[in-house]
Each structure stands twice: as C-alpha cells, then as structure tokens.
C-alpha cells in the first residue's frame, strides 16, 4: 500500500512562510515547528521503502551535528561527504549545516571508475580545499586513511555509523549559528578526474533561489516531488532535495544506480505517490522511452504529473516526442514536458518554461546558425535545426547574450550567456583566479552559447566545445546526436571534438565511438555511415572517425561523456602514434 493518501493530507499550510527566514537553518526550524509529524521523505530502495517525518529527519541531522562537533568540526569548516545516495548522506549534509559548517557531497566510487584515480581526486580536494572532516562508510575508512594521511588541516575521517549513534541535544536545532551571507554549502562542477571548482553559495542566495523558482513553477501545497538525481549535482541537490525539504513539500527519493538498473521505478513512484514534479536530464527521456518493457507498464497512471522538467543538457525536441509517444496513453500530457536552464553558479535555475503551455519550438536555418551564428526562422524547404526554448528568466534573475568583447548582441544572435541575480555564487572556493575570470561588474559569464527570442532563452552549446571548421561553427552535440543510433554504435557512447590542423590553420572534426563489434568489415560500414551523417548534419567532413572498444571513453563525475578529457586521450593515444 502506498503513502499516497498520507502525502496528500499531510500538507495543509502555504508552501512559503509569511516571513522569509534569514538562513536555511531558520527555515528548517520554522518547518519543524509547523509540520514536525508530517511525512518529509519517502526513500525507495531495492530492499523496500522508508518513510521519514520532518521531526525524524532533523533529529537525525542533529545527531550528525553532535558527532561532527565532537570530532573537532566548527562553524565554517568544510566537511566532505563520501557517501552513497541514501538517508545517511541526507542527515550528514543537514547536520553539517546545523553546526554552521559547510558540507559538500563527493561522487561515490562505482565499479566503472578507476579506484586509484578516484582516491587521488579525493586527496586533491581534501588537501587543496583544507577540508576539516570526511564522512564515509566503515569499509572505506582504511583506503581513505591511507591516502589522506599527513594532510594537516584534516581533523577526522568519520564512519557514518558513528554519526547516527550520537545524541541529539535540542540546542543544535535551536541555535541556528549561520548568517545570511555565510556559505551554506559547496556545489562542484563535474570533471573526469573528480570535483573541480567549488561553487560557494550563501544561505541568502539559496533561499532567494528557492523562493524565485517556487514562484516560477507555481509550487503548491499539494505537490509531490519525485527524484532519482545524484545529490552531488545541482539539479539533484536543489530541486531533488533542498527545495522540497525547505518548502515542506513531500519528496520521493531513489538512488540513480537503482534507477539506471530499473528505470520503471520512477514511473511507478509517480503513479503510486501521485507525483506532480520531477526533473530529468535530456537523455532520460529517450532512456525511459526505449528501456522500459511494455509489460512493466500495465496499469500505469501518469496523469498526476504536471511537469517533467528537462534540465542540465541541451534539450532535444525528438527526445520529448519519443517520451510523449510512449507514455501519452498512460496519462502523460504534452504540456507536462517542460524545460529549464540551470547551473550551480546560480544555485540552480536561471530560466524556466511556462508550465501552462508546452515550451516553444524554434525551427531555424542551419546554414545561418553555422556560418553567421544567427538563429533565423527557417523556410519550409531549407535545411533546418530544431531548437527548444528553455523559457524566460526566473524572478530576480537577468539574462544577457554577449559577444567576445562582452557587449550585448541583438535578438536571435548567438553569443555567450551572462546572468545577474540575487541567488548567484559568492565565488569559487579558494579559486580567486576562476572567480575573477567568470565574474565582472556583478555579471556571471557562463561559457554557454545561446540566443534570445521573444524574451526566451535557447541554448546552442558550450564555447569551449565549439568546433570551428573554415569559419563555420559546429556544435559537437549535434554530431553526437546524429550518429548516436548508427547500427553497431553503442548508444550514448560517442564524442565529437575539434583537433587543430596546423597545415590548414583550422580545426578538423574528430569523433570517437564505442562499437559493439570487432569485425573489420563492420567497422568500415559503421565509419562510412558516420561520415555520411556528419556531412549531412554539418555540411563538412569528419577528418577522424575512431572506433573503440566498450569502456574506452571517459566520463565526468556526473555521468556525462567528458569531451576535453577524451580529446586529450585521443591525441595522446592515437594521433601521437600515427
């Protein structure tokens, strides 16, 4: 029996308090006073489900605060959590904040990661960031202690079970030691070798984001958020954890590892708990459209879902179409497919589509985009690119599009996206160089490319990933999408990038694809099809088509193919030996 009826009756108060709290700790204290015995979380695991009330959640968080303080952690100290998706990481994260310390979640070691490389990245983070404590599992303590030995700022490596066993004095919840301008937690950009730049977010910035984004999505007392997203990524941490906890909206949470193995659990959770909101990266729409057996969907009802918000990757209209085609007969409505542009540096959301209608779809001329960096509406007979709007800026956030001199460009002109808001980062943790490069006169320059049309933002790609061939701008994600379903290519295991050609003074297109066969004749056929599709998509030729065995490509800590790292690997392992 599901907790649907409990969830629906548990929230009766307005989502937003009448008086805005000064910090996340005050917000939590207000929430516990209003609805301590109501369900805050439903955790779904392969072993079953666990229901946690608001009071139980913050009692456990206070136990974590006590254990951290006993270990020498003080306000403003950095605490790194090397923990899997589950209740322990949730309690430890809030426990650190209750103490006034600064938590940061590190991606957990998986069988697909090289263990030595992983532990080396943990050591780099702990040493460079002057981490005060690391929290992990008992079985990982020996490996971490061996690698972190000798770091002078590190006070403790804690077994997470020790946090659970601690006493929980009321004072941890009552004293709320932080100030609005204090750093609440760090979010990190993802990388192939672990965490990169630590984004410092103040309590005030996070609360401003929560208020603005709640207004943008019309968050309501009877909403139920369902999420499998990793908590070390801004989409999972904010939309799939902090926002529902602070706003008192029930959260149904499952592990990303569980979801990948059994993707129908997300759909079943939406059905059973009458989920209304979830956030997904673009690949998940295609994944759910193709990887769930029809027999697993018998009796499924998705009619409660008012928004499945596409975020964190370039949005593809065909992914939405495939998802809608598969699940419309199960109650999914077209206008439930929504979009958002977000980044850790703005806490989370920058823009959001209007949930009252489907996002705008913009069909633009391919030649004008590649050659003039302009997004001109396409004629019916012209080769075109289909773009999906990410919506308008959320309240309190401004967006500009600028050229290489950081001057504003006109409507439908592609340039770098810049933003300014009351929920932006304070800076990058112990990285004044990176902070100075990205921030100027109160504006954050994102490194993303896009254009504005009728007040809405469209994303075209990343500046650093752009391939420039004879003056033509080629977006690698367009190449990757075009060749993703070539027979014999492993879906989702392709990468495109530019390699500079000194003789010609321009870049060559290179693609690396993992394939499912070692047969040389099959390789020739696959390469021919790849080259043909790239020519059709970009009006240029691929100079390098390199087919590799499974597991060759490197991924970032958030699971994306790492273009820069794979380009370096290709140059080192292939071109240098050619």
d(CA 216, CA 204): 18
> Among the CATH numbers 1.10.760.10, 1.10.3720.10, 3.30.420.40, 3.40.50.12780, which is that of 4-336?
3.40.50.12780
- Quote the radius of gyration of the chain (alpha carbons, Å): 24
The superfamily (CATH) of domain 466-577 is ANL, C-terminal domain (3.30.300.30)
d(CA 405, CA 289): 43
Greater model confidence, 518 or 411:
411
Say what the pTM is: 0.88
Residue 288 has pLDDT above 50, yes or no: yes
Contact indicator for 430, 199 with CB cutoff of 8 Å = no
Q: Which residue spans of the chain are classified as CATH 3.30.300.30? A: 466-577
Provide the pLDDT for residue 189.
Answer: 63
Q: Which residue spans of the chain are classified as CATH 2.30.38.10? A: 361-464
Pairing of strands 384-388, 415-421: unpaired
**CA proximity to 29, closest of 290, 264, 205, 245:** 245
- Bridge partners of residue 457, in order along the sequence: 452
Question: At 36, is the pLDDT very low, low, confident or very high (cuts 50, 70, 90)?
Answer: confident
Widest CA span in the chain: 71
Provide the pLDDT for residue 223.
Answer: 98
Structure tokens at 176: 């709320």
Question: At 351, is the pLDDT very low, low, confident or very high (cuts 50, 70, 90)?
Answer: very high
Structure tokens at 511: 């693609």
Q: Which residue spans of the chain are classified as CATH 3.40.50.12780? A: 4-336
Share above pLDDT 90 across residues of the chain, in percent, rounded to a whole number: 75
pLDDT in tens, 104-143: 999 888 876 778 888 988 998 899 889 999 999 999 999 9
**CA proximity to 459, closest of 472, 477, 443:** 477
d(CA 160, CA 138): 7
Question: At 558, is the pLDDT very low, low, confident or very high (cuts 50, 70, 90)?
Answer: low
Coil, strand or helix at 309: strand
Per-residue pLDDT averaged across 49-67, rounded? 94
Contact indicator for 163, 64 with CB cutoff of 8 Å = yes
CA angle in degrees (0–180, nearest 5) for 476-477-479: 65
d(CA 394, CA 213): 6
Structure tokens at 545: 């088509």
- Look at phi and psi of residue 246 and say left if phi exceeds 0, alpha if psi is from -120 to 50, else beta: alpha
**CA proximity to 251, closest of 22, 231, 59:** 231
Please state which CATH number belongs to domain 361-464.
Answer: 2.30.38.10
DSSP letter for 263, please: T
């Amino acid at each position: 029996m599901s907790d649907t009826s409990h969830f629906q009756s548990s929230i009766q108060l307005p989502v937003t308090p009448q008086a805005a709290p000064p910090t996340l700790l005050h917000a939590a204290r207000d929430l516990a006073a209003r609805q301590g015995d109501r369900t805050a979380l439903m955790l779904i695991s392969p072993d079953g489900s666990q229901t946690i009330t608001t009071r139980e959640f913050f009692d456990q968080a206070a136990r974590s605060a006590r254990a951290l303080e006993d270990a020498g952690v003080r306000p403003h100290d950095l605490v790194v959590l090397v923990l899997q998706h589950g209740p322990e990481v949730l309690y430890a994260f809030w426990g650190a904040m209750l103490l006034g310390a600064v938590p940061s979640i590190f991606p957990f070691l998986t069988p697909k990661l090289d263990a030595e490389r992983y532990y080396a990245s943990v050591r780099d983070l702990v040493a460079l960031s002057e981490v005060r404590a690391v929290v992990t599992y008992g079985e990982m303590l020996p490996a971490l202690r061996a690698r972190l030995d000798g770091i002078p700022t590190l006070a403790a490596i804690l077994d997470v079970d020790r946090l659970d066993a601690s006493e929980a004095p009321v004072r941890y919840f009552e004293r709320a030691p932080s100030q609005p301008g204090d750093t609440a937690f760090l979010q990190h950009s993802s990388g192939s070798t672990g965490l990169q730049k630590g984004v410092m977010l103040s309590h005030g910035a996070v609360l401003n984001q929560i208020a603005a984004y709640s207004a943008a999505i019309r968050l309501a007392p009877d909403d139920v958020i369902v999420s499998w997203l990793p908590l070390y990524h801004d989409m999972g941490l904010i939309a799939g954890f902090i926002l529902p906890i602070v706003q008192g909206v029930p959260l149904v949470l499952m592990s990303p590892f569980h979801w990948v193995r059994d993707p129908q659990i997300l759909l079943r959770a939406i059905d059973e708990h009458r989920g209304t909101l979830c956030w997904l990266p673009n690949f998940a729409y295609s994944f759910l459209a193709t990887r769930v057996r029809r027999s697993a969907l018998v009796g499924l009802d998705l009619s409660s879902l008012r928004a499945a918000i596409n975020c964190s990757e370039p949005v593809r209209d065909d992914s939405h179409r495939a998802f809608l085609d598969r699940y419309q007969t199960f109650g999914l409505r077209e206008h439930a497919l929504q979009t958002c542009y977000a980044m850790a540096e703005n806490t989370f959301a920058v823009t959001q589509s209007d949930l009252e209608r489907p996002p705008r779809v913009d069909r633009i001329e391919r030649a004008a985009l590649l050659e003039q960096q302009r997004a001109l509406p396409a004629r019916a007979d012209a080769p075109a690119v289909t773009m999906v709007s990410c919506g308008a800026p959320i309240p309190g956030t401004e967006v500009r599009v600028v050229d290489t001199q950081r001057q504003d460009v006109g409507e439908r002109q592609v340039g770098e996206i810049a933003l300014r808001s009351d929920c932006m980062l304070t800076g990058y943790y112990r990285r004044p160089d990176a902070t100075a490069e990205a921030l100027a006169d109160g504006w954050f320059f994102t490194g993303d490319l896009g254009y504005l049309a009728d007040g809405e933002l469209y994303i075209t790609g990343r500046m650093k990933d752009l391939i420039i061939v004879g003056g033509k701008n080629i977006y690698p994600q367009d190449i990757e999408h075009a060749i993703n379903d070539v027979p014999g290519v492993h879906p989702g295991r392709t990468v495109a990038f530019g390699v500079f050609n000194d003789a010609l003074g321009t870049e060559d297109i290179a693609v690396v694809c993992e394939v499912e066969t070692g047969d040389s004749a099959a390789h020739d056929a696959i390469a021919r099809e790849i080259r043909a599709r790239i020519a059709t998509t970009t009006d240029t030729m691929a100079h390098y088509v390199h087919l590799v065995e499974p597991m060759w490509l490197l991924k970032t800590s958030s699971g994306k193919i790492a273009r820069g790292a794979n380009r370096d690997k290709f140059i080192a392992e292939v071109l240098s030996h050619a």
